[in-house]
A and B are shown apart, each in its own frame.
Chain A
């Protein structure tokens, strides 16, 4: 069903093609974009889903259990489908996909503050007053792997919590054409099961105003096109092109079946239940739907991991939300044959102290912690890196945030040393020079 008559649609599709191509080759990083655009048609379609654990998850309780030490806390460990890989007891569904998971137990990063840690893990670089606006991993990956002519935005961010650092979520110097389409942002928590979850996950302002019928909307757009073309003819350049391109993509999203993807009501109740009836669960379901449509990068945020008090009860609850949603996602991707082309990243801004504080909590800890990378391009069924018996330090394969970003690049098939032109007029590689990707996990 279309908001506009078919003639108009066809005409606009043609225009969309023309305008978007022009944008992709004429920006201030013209040649780079051109190369990316040319490359995208020959590569097999790859996707990436980032499960972002906002607040800093207690990875010692999930992925790197210390059963013989007081720092380990009360929880047990369970086997996974991969011999030798054992994880925390509250992730039973995920454990079934152990053969597809690689746990990086040697994470050792530099920032223990939420804002700075999030920026570091999401861009691979610590924030500085330098004025260089580093892009987040979603922008980097979607720029390389996404199709600028695609029906959908190449980067969608679900339930982001951006209070303490909008820039950690943004496209940085890659420019707003690589910004995420954000749905359900700035909700506290992600494990809430408020009744308005379906509403939150829709694209804001996607529906045309109620008082405007289809014919009027079409007439408006037609008149607007003329004004855009007139302006662009006299004022050629990046600003007017970007305006036209954004309107084209917005209109395509409105009028195509595109908007329907964000409407979860056509999923079976049993499927929706399996993911969990909460923002994160339904967000993961939406992520699966977007990947099915070929969206390159989707991130879904689960918050409330900042467990300074009462860590263990909170972790158990959070794991319930996480396990159901991620487990359902893995299963669905596998059933659809998408798990081989979809990489799933699990991480937060840092881990938490092995030592348990008097409030039965764990505090911020960046020195030794874990992340997980799973699915497409990943050699699963293993843990790489080790921490000491008390969990306080990394004893094998220390992995920095830049190393991790480079690993993600290798797994999804991007050259981590590829350079993008930055806002300060010099090229900057995707992952910092000198980063060592954890090649053991690259399939």
Chain B
């Protein structure tokens, strides 16, 4: 189907529901049509032949991984493949959004993006868990993104500095039940204004100011002074001069908590918005509240575009601005109008994350195959085919659990910390061995990861018929042809049926008993091959 025909079909879908009744079209459909139109125009202009649509099997695995963080179970795959409803893809997304695992996955991904230090540094891991639990509730309740960020930035705390000024603890002050979780964000940033300023500008403005922490930004027009002016919104993390750190008495006008001394200078930086305007300081409005309100104003393009871009990058592996937090002249958006359209729709939709999820998953680009079918699809920034993405460690292990039927004790699931390996806990082993902070589209496999998947106790156990739930069942079902057993293994591992060639090849391998003449073992070999292959290990 040509891009134009496809666009026509997409638009027809948008128009159809409105045609019969007066109801407005679903805003997600409207936004999806805008995305389709913008991308199609870009493809046409560049002479790109977009990839064919993904079939149901490719789509179902992808959307499960992206929305709820694991591959689908066999029964879920079969149900989807057999569903005749033409709107089953959108319907599936609706259902996935209601699952607890959606909230858990988005919370985990958000935590890793907001607090990358908690993924790799044991010292901060606990703070990450604190914040992640709170985020899970927000995604479950679908709290609008602006409300989440406002809450995060205005949480009340008091700061204790212990020993010397370098060790600080932001502590919940007890007036807000959410504060116990939210101070984790400050703690993981060592409760330093400069760290918070760097993190918040990166995460919510989408501008990486921190290079300007020490010197003027080499590639972008950000000055050192601007960095410290932004950091000054968090000056209340600095212990006040001549007061005990735990002193919580009113601080009066904001004069004491909206300014910082720039290190190694005599200069004072007063908090100032990134666009150069000043807050109208008032006694009852703290600098952090001023910042939060400015940031989440619907007409602040930094915020809406940046968050929409992050959501885009979650589904495509590559942002429209990429890296996602380095906009600027040296890193222009690949589709500027599309980014603005996404940001505007996000703001107009009251920062509803699910609007973006629904719209993106309905687009032609998201529903394209990841298979390269024309050389013009090679550039990952043009979204002419779905990018291949690495799995997060949790996505990988959760998908292994589903594929193998491993019965995981609850305590093993919840009780894992990065950096500390619990020898008897396979989840802990996988989370540690696969820990990474790289981009999903640049996922590298290490030798130790390959060895763990090939020879490690977990996969070994799950590919032995006497110990594996699902393999055991596949081996034991009475009356099945070998081809049915092979098909079942493909469905559980790869969420698809084998091609005729694969079916023939693997069935004959099993029928001759593999290398040992043992059919059960040979089925284990097939399962091992599927679980070690790139099709299982990546999201495509």
Contact = CB atoms under 8 A, between A and B. Distances in A.
B452 A204 contact: yes
Contacts of A240: 388, 534, 538
Given A130-B208, A231-B535, A425-B331, A247 B444 contact: no
Given A246-B445, A250-B450, A423 B438 contact: yes
Query: Size band of the B side of the interface?
Result: 35 or more
A224 interface: yes
A2 interface: no
Interface string A218-253: 111001101110011011111110111111011101
A246 B538 contact: no
B420 to A, nearest CB: 7
A239 B455 contact: no
Interface residues of A, number: 67
Interface stretch (A98-106, A173-181, A322-330, A404-412): A173-181
Contact of B418 (A115, A166, A220): A166
A216 B525 contact: yes
Contacts, number: 202
B514 A219 contact: yes
Contacts of B457: 209
Interface in A304-354: none
Interface string A162-206: 111111001000011101011000100000000000000001111
A128 B213 contact: yes
Given A131-B202, A164-B122, A209-B455, A182 B448 contact: yes
Contacts of A396: none
A239 B535 contact: no
Nearest to B209: A130
Contacts of A218: 515
B116 interface: yes
Contacts of B326: 424-425
Contacts of B331: 425
A401 interface: no
B222 interface: no
B443 A162 contact: no
A231 B526 CA distance: 16
A119 B123 CA distance: 13
A129 B210 contact: yes
Contact of A227 (B389, B442, B454, B529): B529
A417 to B, nearest CB: 16
Contact of B121 (A131, A164, A234): A164
B336 interface: no
B208 A424 contact: yes
Contact of B448 (A175, A205, A426): A205
Contacts of A28: 442
B534 A232 contact: yes
Interface in B270-308: none
Interface in A262-296: none
A207 interface: yes
Interface in B487-530: 505-506, 509, 514-516, 521, 525-526, 528-530
Interface in B102-118: 116-117
B253 interface: no
Given A128-B198, A165-B123, A176-B445, A235 B388 contact: yes
Contacts of A426: 218-219, 330
Contact of A165 (B120, B166, B218, B447): B120
Contacts of A237: 380, 388, 441
B456 interface: yes
Nearest to A210: B460
B160 interface: no
A220 B528 contact: yes
A133 interface: yes
A235 B441 CA distance: 12
B419 interface: yes
A12 to B, nearest CB: 14
B537 interface: yes
Interface string B427-440: 00000000111110
A365 to B, nearest CB: 14
Nearest to B419: A163
Nearest to B526: A223
B514 A216 contact: yes
B447 A246 contact: yes
Contact of A166 (B325, B419, B530, B538): B419
Contacts of A443: none
10 contacts: A131-B210, A165-B120, A166-B120, A181-B447, A211-B460, A215-B515, A216-B521, A227-B535, A239-B441, A424-B323
